[in-house]
Structure 1
Amino acid sequence: MKQVPDIIAANLKILFIGFNPGTRSAETGHHFAGYSNKFWKLLAAAALTPYQFKPEEDGKLLAFGLGITNIVPRPSRTAAEITKAEYQAGRIILQEKLLLYKPQVACFAGVGVYREFTKQARVTCGWQAASVVSGVADFVVPSPSGLTRILFAEQLTYYQELKEYVA
């Protein structure tokens, strides 16, 4: 499976961070491409994008001050396939990206993503008390995966909170 390139630039409003690309994303070369993934719908519903982008439009995010990266670049069917060594290397690389690009907000797409990045046992959605990189606010949203049991309306409240913060 091929890797999916980061959508990233300096001084973004929000850099979204996932576990790693799924198989559909690897097939298409675009982020959050799984058929049941709600990421693009959530961005549009929160007015972070002017309409619901298709995954193949992920490059347009930069024009709105948004970007995407992953803690681990290797695609897999599930995050359970990611090794400890991949997480360890990914933590270092992600911290370097945050230091280099300095987004206003590092938004982790799932509590598990933030847990793996920080090694904190207890993580909840929303603003985190302390950020890993000085000057970059850490925010956690529920995973947009179709497997998530959290209702869309509840997920949306977090994206709306993000929108208010960067507006």
Structure 2
Amino acid sequence: MDHFMNESNKPLPDMIKEGLDVLFIGYNPGLKSAQEGHHYAGKSNRFWKLLYEAGLTPCKLNPYEDRELLKYGYGSTNIIDRESKSAAELTEEEYEAGREKLKELLKRYRPKIACYVGIGVYHKFAKKKNVKPGLQADSVVDGVIDYVCSSSSGLNRIPMDEQVNCFKGVLKLLENIK
């Protein structure tokens, strides 16, 4: 059964269900995503383009089709629920609370891969200093593989081909574990 967690204080419901192949984890909802109620809705966000160009989806979805992700075995959540213009506005207290909630979510739903869409997201979650994109040596939650890509935000200046290659790594990892 599909599950949209929409606690009263959540501006953007999680898209999650048991047995997902990949759970994409962002920092927090941007203002547009919170306003529209759809993941990665910011005009300059490259998430949907990255998924398509990496071969994770057969077509380029738009934010209003975000629930289609569940049909492909993917879901989406954030480490922090509060919307903001940028991740720089988030506090250490919010990260601490979000870290614990995310751990419980991963333990409960057990996706095969937790893909952190932002090196900083994983840095804050795992409390690791030198985080590099790609497969992580060990996981925070046993039984869930940790994989890190750079943020899909339009504010990110990492070249698009580098980002696509990182997301292609998610597909390759998924093919290897299935």
TM over 0.5: yes
CA distance in 2, matches of 1:166, 1:127: 11
What is the root-mean-square deviation of aligned Cα atoms in Å? 1.2
The percent identity for this pair of structures is: 50
SS in 2 for 1:7: strand
| Residues 2 and 29, structure 1, Cα contact 8 Å, conserved in 2 | no
Question: TM-score, normalising length from structure 1?
Answer: 0.97
Which amino acid in 2 is paired with 1:153? D
Structure 1 moving runs of 4+ over 3 Å: none
Which amino acid in 2 is paired with 1:22? G
CA distance in 2, matches of 1:80, 1:152: 22
CA distance in 1, matches of 2:10, 2:17: 22
User: What is the 5 A alignment of 1:111-122?
Assistant: 111-122=119-130
CA distance in 2, matches of 1:8, 1:30: 13
CA distance in 2, matches of 1:24, 1:30: 8
Q: Can you list the C-alpha shifts for 1:105-128, whole angstroms capped at 9, x where unaligned? A: 000001100011011111110011
CA distance in 1, matches of 2:128, 2:168: 25
CA distance in 1, matches of 2:70, 2:111: 12
Q: Can you list the C-alpha shifts for 1:91-147, whole angstroms capped at 9, x where unaligned? A: 000000000000000000011000110111111100111100111100000111111
Displacement of 1:66? 0.4
Per the alignment, residue 149 of structure 1 pairs with: 157
User: What is the 5 A alignment of 1:56-71?
Assistant: 56-71=64-79
CA distance in 2, matches of 1:53, 1:10: 22
Matched, 1:90 2:98: yes
Matched, 1:125 2:150: no
Per the alignment, residue 31 of structure 1 pairs with: 39
- List runs of 5+ in structure 1 lacking aligned partners: none
Displacement of 1:2? 6.5
| Residues 27 and 121, structure 2, Cα contact 8 Å, conserved in 1 | yes
Displacement of 1:7? 0.7
User: What is the 5 A alignment of 1:8-19?
Assistant: 8-19=16-27
| Residues 10 and 81, structure 2, Cα contact 8 Å, conserved in 1 | no
Q: Can you list the C-alpha shifts for 1:70-104, whole angstroms capped at 9, x where unaligned? A: 00011011111112211111000000000000000
CA distance in 2, matches of 1:161, 1:85: 32
SS in 2 for 1:68: strand
CA distance in 2, matches of 1:165, 1:121: 24
Which amino acid in 2 is paired with 1:162? V
User: What number of residue pairs does the alignment pair up?
Assistant: 167
